[in-house]
């Protein structure tokens, strides 16, 4: 039976079977294995703004090490979904969409905010396109599931993703890696670590990645389709000023190049009658498909663009540059930390697409600048009380000078509808926060946290979708508006050591995402969304640390969800725009289990199961449709992962490691609330495999790999008339040398 034929119940039963097969070995947080010692090593994380073992951190947390990323062939954020339960990653028009446990942000415009806090070394990355940069010289990634309002603030209703880079060390080291694969893929990455003297250490890394398009051109042989030509670089300079203080300075750059974002027609995946056409739209295309029925046409057909694209100069030329500073000093009773981060991103894209059945061209230049400050005190000492307190300030300016052109063609005449925007958005946020943990008994701890946030968002657009008629400088649609919100987030939790290796925990926590305004005057503003989560969990190390288990149950009360659609005021495409509204409240319930088990000194089994029941309450997305009780978008009922790695020792001292893994997803929906249409991605399976050789001195590694063996193409996001899709089967060879 194929995965596509499995019912949700069958998948749950299969998940239970896989779990039972791997018991009693479970692990979640250990991301490094010391095979010589025959144990899974403990990992220290900073998920709660202070260093502590992952197995003693009472939150739903997954840790992915640099080795895990390399073994899985993950080079950017979208790949994290392959190794993290209840995490769905996608892209829309070159921007990252993060869904955790069914909580997601769909407003990818300059006025929108993410639902998950994306951080690099503690610095918040606000813009969706800047989150698409390459992973470079990382130490680990921490994925926190559930609202993180107390320590991470606004826009963390879904959770947080923390990228922690590798820092300078006191020993000289260097590494070079290379990769080639199908679709013309080639990547090179290098790192060097230099201890300059007793005070200064430097670490620098750089990478360059290129590949051809994954898409088939169809009739558009002269149109550049989405491809990749990226590079990234980072320099850390660490100064150990004294035994009690240090200063880390960082300069970072990331470039995303290649051809611009390219969607594929809805008809590649679904049959039905196109609807939401304008009076002059072609009969076989439109904004949506009525009563869509999924058809598996095969990878090649699903990747065919088949759209009458117009932008022969489509391209992507985006840059994100960052400067960061982190100062630490021990004050005896506490450690003082001050973090300063400045980021500037520049967008220069020309995109192809289809809009209500006609060729569409998007010209998207603009800039975004943000500055953040965080001042924090962390308690020191071995007493029963541990605490962290701080203040946070964020200031962001976004400018977009965008023009969207829809090309009306025969037999409806030949003319162009131009929809321009000249947008300036300013986001300001300030907060104070604190969290304390007190040991009621040596084995029982109580945690309380509180954060007060004040947000201000202003915006203006001299065009707002309607071209100005010279000599006028603005149009009747121009707007200037502002909104302000405040919120108090809190957390109450308790954790208890049943045994030295087993901890149980429970918590009630809240999260908050700021409200905002729409890019059309008549669409008005929308309220913040709020989420309250109840979580129960267990973390256990068993069999002399050869296996680990993490399991959790959660319940969400989700209010005033922010949903996004393209809405037209009239039958003229110049009146269409992205509109965010507050949906009804919803309930989300679920369970997660992660595991890692050293079945032998040379063999490791990994398994995870994520079950989610996410449904709207009473909700009518428009005047005629009723989605009450229906499932939320991007919230599969079940996701099951299973993988095994085995190392074979050779007489020469070298070794060969074989790894195979598969991920079964029960499917999900992607919807247009305004039209009342829901597109169902059926259940699917994606599997990976690799075979690696390591030299006797451990300096040289060569690996053959294949990803998405089934060549399964999945829909990731919807834009009018088309989808952005996942990657096809890829394969290749990568090699590295360390010295």
Q: How confident is the model at residue 615 (pLDDT cuts 50, 70, 90)?
A: very high
Burial of 118 from C-beta contacts in 10 A (0-12 / 13-18 / 19+): buried
Cβ neighbours for 546, distance < 8 A, ≥ 6 positions apart: 25, 38, 39, 40, 597, 598
End-to-end CA distance of the chain: 49
Question: Please, which pLDDT band fits residue 581 given cuts at 50, 70 and 90?
Answer: confident
pLDDT at 36: 43
d(CA 668, CA 382): 47
Three-class secondary structure of residue 529 per DSSP? strand
CA 482 → CA 6, 107, 222, 396, distances in Å? 49, 18, 44, 14
Q: How far apart are CA 220 and CA 83, in angstroms?
A: 36
Partner residues linked to 449 by β-bridges: 435, 491
- Dihedral over alpha carbons 448, 451, 452, 454 (to 10 degrees): -160
- Kindly tell me if the per-residue pLDDT of 295 is higher than 80: yes
Burial of residue 60, with CB atoms counted within 10 A of its CB: 0-12 exposed, 13-18 middle, 19 or more buried: buried
Buried b (16+ CB within 10 A) or exposed e, 563-586: bbbbbbeeeebbbbbbbbbbbbbb
Q: At 700, which helix (H) or strand (E)?
A: strand 700-707
- Looking at the structure of the chain, the number of domains it has is 1
- Work out the average pLDDT over 437-446: 96
**3-state class (DSSP) for residue 460:** strand
**Does the pLDDT of residue 30 top 80, yes or no?**
no
- Calculate mean pLDDT across residues 260-274: 90
Give the burial class of 14: count Cβ atoms within 10 A of its Cβ; 0-12 exposed, 13-18 middle, 19 or more buried: middle
Beta strands in 543-635 (DSSP E): 547-559, 562-568, 576-582, 586-600, 603-616
Estimate to the nearest angstrom the gap between the alpha carbon of 304 and the chain centroid. 26
- Can you tell me the distance from the alpha carbon of 96 to that of 79, in angstroms, rounded to the nearest whole number? 11
Question: What is the average pLDDT value for the chain, to the nearest integer?
Answer: 87
Q: What is the pTM of this model?
A: 0.89
**CA neighbours within 13 Å on the CB side: how many for 406?**
21
| Position 241 confidence tier, pLDDT thresholds 50, 70, 90 | very high
Average pLDDT over every residue of 545-556: 94
Range of the domain at 540: 3-738
Residue-wise pLDDT tens digits, 138-164 = 999 999 999 998 999 888 999 999 999
The single-letter DSSP state of residue 29 is S
Over residues 544-557, mean pLDDT: 94
Q: What is the CATH number of the domain that holds 381?
A: 2.40.170.20
Helices (H), 66-218: 66-72, 149-152
The alpha carbon dihedral of 141, 146, 152, 155 has a sign of: positive
- What pLDDT does residue 465 have? 72
pLDDT value at position 27?
31
Q: What gap in Å lies between CA 706 and CA 728, rounded to an integer? A: 11
Cβ distance 179 to 732 under 8 Å? yes
Q: How far apart are CA 28 and CA 68, in angstroms?
A: 13
The share of the chain scoring above pLDDT 90, in percent, equals: 60
Task: Determine contact, residues 394/124, Cβ cutoff 8 Å.
Answer: yes
Instruction: Please compute the mean of the pLDDT values over residues 216-236 and round it to a whole number.
Output: 88
Q: How many C-beta neighbours within 10 Å does residue 163 have?
A: 22
* List of residues 6+ apart from 250 with CB closer than 8 A: 121, 165, 234, 235, 236, 237, 322, 323, 324, 325, 326
269 in the Ramachandran plot: left (φ > 0), alpha (ψ -120 to 50) or beta? alpha
Residues listed for the chain: 739
Predicted confidence at residue 18, as pLDDT, reads 38
Provide the pLDDT for residue 28: 35
> In terms of pLDDT, which residue wins out, 37 or 437?
437
Q: Which residues pair with 164 in a beta bridge?
A: 140
Question: What does the pLDDT read at residue 686?
Answer: 96
Q: Hey, what are 3's tokens?
A: 């995965």
Which candidate, 663, 510, 712, 600, places its Cα nearest to that of 82?
663
What pLDDT, on a 0 to 100 scale, did the predictor assign at position 690? Answer: 95
């Amino acid at each position: 039976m194929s995965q596509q034929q499995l019912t949700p119940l069958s998948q749950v039963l299969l998940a239970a079977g896989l779990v039972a097969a791997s018991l009693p070995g479970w692990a979640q947080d250990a991301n490094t294995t010391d095979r010589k010692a025959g144990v899974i090593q403990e990992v220290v994380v900073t998920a709660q703004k202070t260093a502590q073992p992952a197995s003693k951190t009472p939150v739903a947390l997954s840790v992915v090490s640099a080795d895990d990323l390399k073994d899985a062939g993950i080079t950017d954020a979208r790949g994290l979904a392959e190794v993290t339960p209840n995490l769905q990653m996608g892209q829309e028009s070159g921007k990252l969409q993060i869904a955790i446990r069914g909580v997601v942000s769909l407003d990818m415009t300059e006025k929108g905010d993410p639902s998950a806090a994306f951080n690099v070394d503690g610095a918040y990355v606000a813009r969706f396109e800047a989150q698409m940069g390459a992973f470079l010289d990382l130490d680990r990634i921490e994925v926190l599931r559930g609202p993180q309002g107390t320590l991470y603030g606004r826009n963390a209703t879904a959770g947080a993703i923390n990228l922690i880079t590798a820092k300078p060390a006191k020993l000289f080291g260097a590494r070079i890696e290379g990769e080639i694969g199908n679709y013309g893929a080639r990547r090179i990455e290098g790192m060097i670590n230099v201890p300059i003297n007793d005070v200064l250490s430097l670490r620098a890394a750089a990478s360059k990645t290129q590949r051809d398009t994954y898409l088939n051109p169809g009739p558009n042989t002269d149109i550049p389709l989405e491809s990749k030509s990226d590079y990234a670089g980072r320099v850390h300079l660490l100064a150990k000023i004294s035994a009690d203080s240090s200063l880390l300075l960082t300069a970072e750059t990331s470039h995303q190049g290649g051809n611009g974002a390219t969607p594929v027609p809805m008809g590649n995946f679904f049959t039905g009658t196109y609807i939401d056409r304008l009076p002059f739209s072609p009969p076989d295309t439109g904004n949506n498909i009525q009563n869509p029925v999924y058809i598996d046409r095969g990878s090649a057909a699903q990747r065919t663009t088949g759209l009458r694209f117009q932008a022969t100069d489509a391209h992507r030329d985006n840059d994100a540059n960052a400067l960061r500073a982190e100062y630490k000093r021990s004050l005896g009773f506490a450690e003082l930390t001050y973090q300063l981060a400045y980021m500037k991103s520049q967008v220069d894209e020309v995109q192809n697409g289809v809009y209500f059945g006609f060729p569409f061209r998007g010209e998207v230049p603009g800039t975004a600048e943000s500055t953040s400050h965080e001042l924090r005190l962390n308690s020191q000492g071995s007493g029963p009380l541990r605490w962290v307190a701080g203040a946070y300030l964020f200031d962001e300016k976004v400018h977009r000078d965008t023009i969207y052109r829809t090309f009306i063609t025969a037999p409806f005449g030949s003319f162009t509808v131009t929809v321009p925007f000249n947008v300036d958005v300013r986001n300001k946020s300030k907060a104070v926060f604190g969290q304390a943990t007190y040991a009621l008994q040596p084995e029982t701890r109580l945690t309380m946290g509180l954060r007060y946030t004040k947000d201000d968002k202003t915006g203006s657009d001299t065009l707002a979708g309607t071209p100005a008629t010279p000599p006028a400088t603005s149009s009747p649609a121009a707007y200037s508006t502002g909104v302000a919100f405040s919120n108090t987030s809190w957390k109450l939790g308790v954790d208890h050591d049943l045994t030295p290796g087993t901890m149980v925990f429970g918590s009630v926590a809240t999260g908050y995402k700021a409200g905002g305004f729409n890019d059309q005057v008549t669409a008005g503003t929308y309220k913040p969304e709020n989420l309250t989560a109840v979580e129960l969990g267990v973390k256990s190390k068993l069999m002399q640390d050869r296996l680990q288990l993490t399991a959790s149950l959660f319940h969400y009360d989700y209010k005033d969800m922010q949903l996004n659609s393209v809405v037209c005021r009239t039958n003229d495409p110049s009146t269409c725009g992205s509109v965010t509204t507050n949906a009804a409240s919803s309930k989300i319930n679920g369970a997660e289990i992660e595991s890692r088990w050293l079945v032998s000194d040379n063999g490791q089994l990994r398994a995870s199961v994520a079950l989610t029941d996410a449904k709207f309450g009473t909700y009518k997305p428009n005047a005629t449709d009723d989605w009450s009780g229906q499932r939320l978008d991007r919230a599969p009922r079940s996701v099951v992962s299973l993988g095994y790695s085995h190392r074979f020792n050779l007489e020469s001292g070298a070794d060969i490691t074989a790894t195979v893994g598969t991920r079964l997803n029960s499917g999900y929906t992607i919807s247009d609330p305004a039209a009342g249409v829901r597109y169902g991605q059926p259940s699917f399976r994606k599997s990976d495999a690799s075979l690696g050789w390591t030299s006797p001195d451990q300096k040289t590694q060569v690996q053959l790999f294949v990803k998405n063996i089934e060549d399964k193409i999945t829909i990731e996001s919807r834009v009018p008339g088309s989808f952005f899709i996942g990657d096809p089967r890829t394969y290749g060879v990568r090699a590295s040398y360390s010295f």
